[in-house]
Amino acid sequence: FASYFFMTRGTLIAIEGLDRTGKTTQTTKLINRLAQDGKDVELIKFPERTTAIGKIINTYLTDKTFQLSDESAHLLFSANRWELSQKIYDLLDQGKTVVLDRYVYSGVAYSSAKGLLFDWCYSPDIGLPRPDVVIFLKFKEEENFEREGFGDERYEVAEFQQKVKIQFEKFSGQDNWKPVFVDGKNIEEVGELVWKCYTDATKQALGPVQNGE
Ligand code: T5A
Ligand code: NA
C-alpha cells in the first residue's frame, strides 16, 4: 500500500538521430541494461507502423510511387505519436521506464528539412509527453551513409540527411537534449555514452534544493 502511495512515475527516454546512426541498436542495448538494473521497461518505436495511421506511414516510406503532400505526411507522423500518447502516460504512471526509438524531434527535423516551417512542424506535437532525456546520436563526418542498408527508404539520401541534421541541431538548447558522437566508436562504446546520459538525467531529476528558492 505504502509503495503504491509513494510510487514515482517512470522515466521517459527518447533516442534520436539521423538514419543509420544506430538508434535501434542502442535502444535495444539500453532496454536490456535497464532490465538488468531491475527496471520495468517498455519500448515504443516511431513510426509505430502497425496502427491504422502507422500502416499508411509504412506505405509512404516504402513505396516511392505513393503520393502524399509533405504537410499530410507530417501530420500523419504526428497523429501516430498521438495514437500512443495515452499509453505512454499510463506506462509512466505505472512506474515503467519508457524508451522511445525516434519521437517528436524526428518529426520536426525531417519535415522542416523538406522546407516546411519549423514552428508549423512543431505545433501538432505540442502537448505530447516531454522526455526526461533525449539522447541524440550524431556524427561529425558522413560515416553513417556507408552503413549497411542505407538508401532503401525514401529519405536516405546524403544531401537530405545534411538538411535534417541542421534542423535537429535547433533542439540543442533544450535542457533535456544530450548529444552523443558516434564517429569511430563501436556499439559498446556508444552504449556506455548512452548509459551515462541516462544516469546523468536521472540524477538531475533528483536535484538539490537551490539557495533562494
Ligand atoms: N520519420 C520518422 C519522419 O519523417 N517523421 C517522423 O515523425 C518519424 C518518427 C523511418 C523514416 O521515417 C522518418 C525518419 C526515417 O527516415 P525509422 O523506421 O526509424 O524511420 O528508420 P531509420 O532511421 O532508417 O532506422 P534505421 O533502423 O535504418 O537506423 P538506426 O536505427 O539508426 O540504425 P541501426 O541501429 O539499425 O543500425 C544501422 C546499421 O549500423 C550498424 C548496425 O549493426 C546496422 O547494421 N551499427 C554500427 N556499426 C558500426 N558502429 C556502430 N557504433 C554501429 N551502431 C550500429
Ligand atoms: Na531504426
Kindly identify the ligand whose nearest atom is closest to the C-alpha of 18. Answer: 1
CB-based contacts of 168, cutoff 8 Å, min separation 6: 16, 17, 18, 105, 109, 136, 138
Task: Indicate if ipTM > 0.85.
Answer: yes
Q: Residue 115: its pLDDT value, please?
A: 97
Closest residue CA from atom 20 of ligand 1: 47
61 within some domain:
yes
3-state secondary structure at position 99: strand
Q: What is the CATH number of the domain that holds 105?
A: 3.40.50.300
Output the pLDDT for position 125.
98
Query: Whose Cα sits closest to atom 50 in ligand 1?
Result: 186
Residue 201 falls inside a structural domain: no
pLDDT at 212: 72
Domain that holds residue 48: 2-195
User: What spacing in Å lies between the alpha carbon of 85 and ligand 2's midpoint?
Assistant: 20
Contact 14, 134 (CB under 8 A): yes
Residue 200 lies in a domain: no
CA of 20 to the centre of ligand 1 (A): 4
When comparing pLDDT for 168 and 208, which is higher?
Answer: 168
116 Cα distance to chain centroid: 20
Which atom in ligand 1 lies closest to the alpha carbon of residue 78? Answer: 7
Judge whether 33 lies within some domain.
yes
Q: Does residue 209 belong to any structural domain of this protein? A: no
4: confidence class by pLDDT, cuts 50, 70, 90: low
Number of domains in the chain: 1
CA dist 112 and 171 (Å) reads: 13
